[in-house]
Amino acid sequence: MYDLSGKVAIVTGASRPKGIGRATALRLAREGADVVIADYGRPGGFADHPDYEHLGRSDEMDAVVSEIEALGRRSVAIAVDVTQRAEVEAMVATTVAELGRVDILVNNAGVGLGGPLIDYPEESWDRTLAVNAKGPFLCAQAAARVMIEQGDGGRIVTTASQAGKTGFPNLGAYTASKFAVVGMTQVLGLELAPHRINVNCVCPGTVDTDLMAPGIAMMAALHGSDEAKARELMAARIPLGRLETGDDVANLIVWLCSDQGGYLTGQALNVTGGQEMH
């Protein structure tokens, strides 16, 4: 559909089977790009949240790499904690060493740690802001430096959320982190425009991924129903009448990475089935 042949893309948070990142990585490869599958890729949760279970595993990363290679594109798995500058810089350096350059960065890695703010643990706030806001900043900084040196532009797309436009109860830290990346995107869009690096974010709605699982379970409990019924109830709240898929989001991300999105920068585009219009 678009011609991304010869381009090298890094997608963070790229390995969960139902995730936005994997869908995006596969789409970028189908459009011709070589793709780095970056994800947490180490056993256990975070030191401060040892039970957190939605992190990309190394076997999942390898599986996506194989899928991309089967499409005839090059792919490398890189384990990275996006909150650590040294690891992020190593990710970009490895990308350049293995695949030659960096043209596209998709900041997709993110965590969701719910709970009302009044009792919200400080370490959960810090963890959420670190992964969802600082992570995209560190990755953008490292990748943009390479793009500027290459001298022929680039694309940075961050997965924000409809929670980056409107606050959601029980998702205070998540909401704050997503507002933060929308703001960062505006500034980075302006600052990198002279280098022809377009910086945008996408704001998905109710995507049926692992991150949504607690929300669906909560909905089921609230209505005393099973998860299938909870999904139906959630879909009924969405104007277009169905839950979102990773592919719905990937469609927009890939468009922004293509020449077709060349005159957009600094934007936060909703892809929510009509749930969010701001």
Partner 1 sequence: MSMYELDGKVAIVTGCAREQGIGRATANRLAAEGCKVVLTDVGRRPDLNPDYVVGSLDELDEAAAEVSERGGTATAIVADVTDPASVQNLVDQSVEAFGGVDILVNVAGVGMGAPFLEMPLDVWNHVIAVNTTGPMLCAQAAAKQMVEQGRGGRIVTVASQASKIGGTNRPRPVDAPPATEEELLVGRGGGGGVYAVSKAAAMMLTRMLAFELAPHQVTVNAVCPGFVDTQLLMGGFEMRAEEMGVSMEEWLPNFVKNTIPLGRMQTGDDVADLIAFLCSDQASYMTGQSINTTGGTELHSG
CB 102 to partner 1: min, Å: 20
Taking CB under 8 A as the criterion, the residue among 1, 117, 218, 221 binding partner 1 is 1
Nearer to partner 1, 159 or 272 (CB): 272
Confirm whether 2 is a catalytic residue: no
Site string for partner 1, 193-232 (x = CB under 8 A): xx-x-x----------------------------------
Size of the residue set binding partner 1 (CB under 8 A): 36
| Per CB under 8 A, 167 contacts partner 1 | no
**Which secondary structure element, helix H or strand E, spans residue 98, and what is its range?**
helix 85-99
Give dist(CA 20, CA 197) in Å, integer.
22
Smallest CA-to-CA distance from 209 within 127, 143, 141, 112 is with: 112
Distance from chain centroid for Cα 250: 10
The DSSP code sequence of 108-148 is -------B-GGG--HHHHHHHHIIIIIHHHHHHHHHHHHHH
Binding letters toward partner 1, positions 228-267, x by CB under 8 A: -----------xxx--x---x--xx--x---xxxxxxxxx
CA angle 38, 41, 43 (to 5 degrees): 170
Q: Find the catalytic residue in 52, 178, 229, 263.
A: 178
Q: Which residues bind partner 1 (CB under 8 A)?
A: 1-2, 165, 186, 189-190, 193-194, 196, 198, 239-241, 244, 248, 251-252, 255, 259-274, 277-278
